A and B are shown apart, each in its own frame.
Chain A
């Protein structure tokens, strides 16, 4: 048998509204702060990188491959295929 004691008073007696509001405000506050710090971080790191640039290798970011290099590789592969098909 379901033994339910439903009442709006339960929410007020248990300080439900206060707990819910406090909880939401703290969660939002903490994540807003994290979000702000994340937004500022790249600028701080750019400033830092002027004096201590990121080194290649251990722990450093991989440099994105240059578009021109990708295009050159693609062209070379294409030419090779053409040569192959011409021979055949």
Chain B
């Protein structure tokens, strides 16, 4: 009987706290959003399931959670805590990305830079709220709207905030179709939203092949801190564009990225134990995360309007919102908002240019913050 009672005391039910229950509900909400609303299902589903798994109370003396050295989850989480998974995801993204629209219209690259205003604006907001500079840098990167970059930088600058930052980044990425349209409509006139852009020119194979090498060298020579992210991104793209490594490109954009996404999503979710996650800091991070997406969207749209002051061939300012590097969601949102205003205006191709430039921009910003703020 004693053994039975002893066993009952070790069950998850007897050790469950209110905090654990709240986080399990959060996990269930993530899974529901993924399945019912189709919001970033590839990430929200493993993260949601991970959040449930991470909040099942573990037994003292048994290494089970991501924070218990030697546990299976701890080994998987190693890829997150040491920043190994994000560059591998970037390899896959590179092998999927077609930079031709950006190569066809280089001025749109600047919109990808302008949207990084969200990162630095949020950094100031986080400092104002009392976070340390390193923590503020890690929170600020949420504004890059790039999950792997957020995880990479927070693993380097503020590992104790990694769970909250990753969850905030991915949640808001999933909510891009909800967050961006009101800001885009607010900051543009009907006339601006109707602007039609010239179709992009055809880009030669040689340009596509040379671009990843040149862009990698330029960016990394300026910001060596972005080496692992941009190195993998441009390697992936070169695998795709070289046409001689199709097998490798296929593996990078299919099997590899899928495996890493599962491991990353699940272990990040499992790191959201109530005792670590449910703090006042996490609440502030969520608030700042929402702010960062708004500032980034506004930065891109307003900079497109600024550029129009000097350009003969005007840019549709909605395209600026795609500088937020949630690929390809923010480009889709631009297409959707543009299409609502003029059903014959197709902005998707144009929006992909600042979208992919935003990925490069946020990786550069992460490299800058890492080199400036690391102790």
Partners in one complex: yes
Chain A positions within 8 Å of B, measured between CB atoms, are 1-8, 10-11, 14-17, 19-24, 26-39, 41-42, 45, 49, 54, 58-61, 64
Q: Which residues on B sit within 8 Å (CB–CB) of A30?
A: 218-219, 222-223, 364
Give the distance to chain B from A66, nearest Cβ to Cβ, in Å.
14
Count of B interface residues, CB-CB < 8 Å = 53
Q: Can you sample 20 A-B contacts with CB below 8 Å?
A: A1-B280, A2-B283, A4-B284, A5-B129, A6-B130, A10-B129, A14-B133, A17-B124, A23-B365, A24-B116, A26-B222, A31-B109, A31-B113, A34-B215, A35-B107, A38-B103, A38-B211, A39-B106, A41-B210, A49-B206
Chain B positions within 8 Å of A, measured between CB atoms, are 102-103, 106-107, 109-110, 112-114, 116-117, 119-121, 123-124, 127-130, 132-133, 136-137, 202, 204-207, 209-211, 214-215, 218-219, 222-223, 242-244, 280, 283-284, 357, 360-361, 364-365, 368-369, 372-373
Q: Give the CA-CA distance A7 to B129 in the complex, in Å.
A: 7
Task: Tell me the dominant secondary structure on chain A's binding face.
Answer: helix
Q: Which residues on B sit within 8 Å (CB–CB) of A19?
A: 120, 123, 133, 137, 369, 372-373
Select from chain A the residue with minimum beta-carbon distance to B205. A61
Identify which of B116, B202, B215, B243 contacts A59 (C-beta below 8 A). B243
Select from chain B the residue with minimum beta-carbon distance to A62. B205
B204 and A28: CB pair below 8 A? Answer: no
Give the distance to chain B from A41, nearest Cβ to Cβ, in Å.
6
A16 and B124: CB pair below 8 A? Answer: yes
B129 and A6: CB pair below 8 A? Answer: yes
B133 and A37: CB pair below 8 A? Answer: no
Select from chain B the residue with minimum beta-carbon distance to A20. B120
B133 and A16: CB pair below 8 A? Answer: yes
Give the distance to chain B from A26, nearest Cβ to Cβ, in Å.
5
What are the 5 A-B residue pairs with the smallest beta carbon separation, nearest first?
A5-B130, A20-B120, A61-B205, A38-B106, A35-B109
